[in-house]
Structure 1
Amino acid sequence: MKWLWRAVLASLLIAALAAGAAWQWLRSPLALAAPSVELSIEPGTSPAEVARAWVAAGVQADARLLYQWFKWSGQARQIRAGSYEAHAGITPRGLLDKMVRGDEVLEQLRLIDGWNWRQVRAALAAAPALKPVAAAMSDADLMAALGEPGVAPEGRFFPDTYAYSRGVSDLTVLRRAHAAMRKRLAAAWSGRADGLPLRSADEALVLASIVEKETGVAGDRSKVAAVFVNRLRLGMPLQTDPTVIYGLGERFDGNLRKRDLTRDTPFNTYTRGGLPPTPIAMPGAASLHAALHPAPVKSLYFVARGDGSSEFSDDLAAHNRAVNKYQRGGP
């Protein structure tokens, strides 16, 4: 029977040594083909495929051993899809923990208050590691995919910084920005001041976009909104240059001329009354609030002072004096 005990002891010793070696392996840094190795895991990727993908990406280990670790840990099915980066010094345990936590490498897209749709398209095209799905879609198809068929995309996305995983589609990021604007606009509209000459949240969005483009300093925002609200109440044309510039599109060369003010387009608020048909840019939260909570003033005019701020006037005579002072250098 001694031989049997010896065999059992030998087996136990081998198992203990194997367990010790496995424990040591789990705590030891993995060899990498580069200082950092990146991997994007698509939804539905099996743990075995994840292990093989890490090895193909540059983790210098046996893929079968990695997979057995994922499986033995009991967390193999908790691995999340996403973009990950393994740095020098990472251990097998650390690699699995990173994927289970969803500790991804994220890129960022920043959409700026006041940008128009062409600028949004350009930012998406320049953003790193975005899959170009929306880039190949027409504006009409894009808005249909976002659940608003027949709606122009201008102004329909909330300006903010959006973090995203590498390899995600530009449509996914746009969907988040679109949902954010819908939520912000609905909240602003539901809390609007009484008696505004606006028939819908869409009209509020158009007005907010004009306020966004016309405001030089934050302190003037609610007064700028008040000027346009007061004009709408009286049936006066808005006569705002940014809408004219928007209507000119790519023909605008940086100089707004008198002939441009008389050139009729759907966005020329000198030749047409009321609000233009769509927003002219993406308004931020402050402009949305100002459009729906204008300052309690009677101003109908404003002119730039030259320092970013504006001089507001209640009547044309006062406005002409302000223009003479700030634009013509008069007394």
Structure 2
Amino acid sequence: MITKKNQKYYMIGMVAISVMISSFAFYFYQVFFSPNTLTESQQPVSLKIPSNANFKQVSDILTENKIITDVISFSFVSKIMKYQDNVKPGLYTIQPKMSNKDLVSLLRSGKQTPVQLTFNNIRTKEDLAEKITNKLEMKDEQFLRLLKDSLYIRKFEFEEETIMSMFIPNTYEVYWNTSPEQLFDRMYREYNNFWNDERKEKARVLGMTPEEVSTLASIVQAETAKRDERPKVAGVYINRLERNIPLQADPTLVFALGDFTIKRVLNVHKEIESPYNTYKYAGLPPGPINLPEISSLDAVLNYQDHNYLYFCAKEDFSGYHVFSTNLRDHLNQARKYQNALNAAKIYQ
């Protein structure tokens, strides 16, 4: 028989247990659902979790960058939600005042924020490696190593001289922790997407492969920065190729010399022994001398049909050119341009 005294103890015990359960439930709720990220900020931040990072490293990054306020509660929730042994690398966008549950759910899901990857104005493999990786986890030397690996690039059916034509300058979405090999695969897919049946047919009509189109487009692009003029310049080079006349493209000499500070090509430059010397050798050089933009590639595929065989920069330095059908007119314009260079004291 329960005495009044025992009843009193029982009630006290029940109240104490209820208080404990309520306190634990409240604490549990607080730990899981109370804001714990960027509590004093209104702006989201990017969190980079390196490849092969463990939970302690993630926790340290969050703490050192003041992304989370309470590391103990974050660790507790991570343990309960089995994230501590399931860390996924990548770039994540952390919103202000996220709860531990939301934060751990995001990181555990691996739902990264893609990186906008843009590359253009590129001359060399070193330029490409630097610009294509500058927003990614990988180092430029890792990517450059593959660019120069003749065995590796042959699996994409390119050679050392033509591999640059596989990269179509544009803006792409990729993940921050994409590996060099994954990025190569992605760029190869984009290359094949660009070279659709319509473009391949236009190249075939020209008697060129896509790589040869890229090579000519790189020369056209180096000759003029004016996009509206590129189909006309392309037409000149198509005419010269059809007549087996050397292209005599100054930018190919600059590429052969490897000195991109040259503003005025001189006769001495034309003596360099190189397959890229289009004054010495007719036809196209072995590969592109820069990374041609889509507008340059399409300028070749949709070249302007005309009878011009020569062009020379205008003496007003507008960036446009004067086109000629004969050598006499061309030499007259070249003289005007050379006089303008002398007047501007541009000698090399």
TM-score where L is the length of structure 1: 0.77
**Which residue is equivalent to 2:129?**
121
Q: Shift of residue 39 of structure 1?
A: 4.4
Where 2:166 maps in the other structure, the secondary structure is: coil
Percent identical across equivalent pairs?
23
CA distance in 2 between partners of 1:205 and 1:87 (Å): 44
**CA shift in 2, pair 1:92/1:41, >3 Å:** farther
Match of 2:231 among 222, 227, 244: 222
Work out whether residues 197 and 229 of structure 1, in 8 Å CA contact, stay in contact via their aligned partners in 2.
no
2:310 paired with 1:310:
no
Give 3-state SS (helix, strand or coil) of 2:269's partner. helix
- 1:130 and 2:138 are equivalent in the alignment: yes
**Structure 1 counterpart of 2:107, one-letter code:** M
Separation in structure 2 between the aligned mates of residue 320 and residue 91 of structure 1, nearest angstrom: 74
User: Which amino acid counterpart does residue 167 of structure 2 have in structure 1?
Assistant: F
Aligned partner of 1:82 in structure 2 is: 90
**Other structure's SS at 2:298 match:** helix
Which residue of 1 is the match for residue 343 of structure 2? none
Contact 2:203 2:210 in 1 (8 A): no
Q: Distance in 1 between matches of 2:271 and 2:48?
A: 57
167, 183, 188: which one aligns with 2:193:
183
Q: Is the 8 A contact 2:50 2:137 kept in 1?
A: no
Q: Which amino acid aligns with 2:252?
A: T
Task: Return the letter of the residue paired with 1:314.
Answer: T
Partner of 1:56: 60
Structure 2 CA distance for aligned equivalents of residues 213 and 23 of structure 1: 64
Distance in 2, matches of 1:157 and 1:188, equals 19
Query: Which residue in the other structure is 1:28 paired with?
Result: 34
Does residue 238 of structure 1 match 2:242? no
- Normalised to the residue count of structure 2, the TM-score between the two structures is 0.74
Q: Are positions 1:288 and 2:294 aligned together?
A: no
Amino acid at match of 2:123: W
**Is the 8 Å Cα contact of residues 186 and 201 (structure 1) preserved in structure 2?**
no
Distance 1:37 1:107, change over 3 A: closer
Give the 3 Å change call, closer, same or farther, for CA 9–112 of structure 1 in structure 2.
Answer: same
Gap change, CA 1:289 and 1:188, over 3 Å in 2: farther
- In the alignment of these two chains, the number of paired residues is 320
Residue identity opposite 1:18 in structure 2: F
Give the Cα–Cα distance (whole angstroms) in 2 for the partners of residues 320 and 138 of structure 1. Answer: 41
Contact 2:46 2:91 in 1 (8 A): no
Give the corresponding residue for 1:301: 310
1:310–1:324 distance in 2 versus 1, CA, 3 Å: same
Can you give the 5+ residue segments of structure 1 that lack an aligned partner in the other structure?
none
Letter in 1 for 2:36: L
Aligned partners of 2:177 and 2:46: how far apart in 1?
15
Question: What amino acid maps onto 1:328 in structure 2?
Answer: N
Distance 1:193 1:31 in 2: 55
- 1:258 correspondence with 2:258: no
Contact 2:168–2:292 under 8 Å retained in 1: yes
- What RMSD in Å do the two structures reach over aligned CA positions? 4.0
Aligned partners of 1:303, 1:320: CA distance in 2, in Å? 9
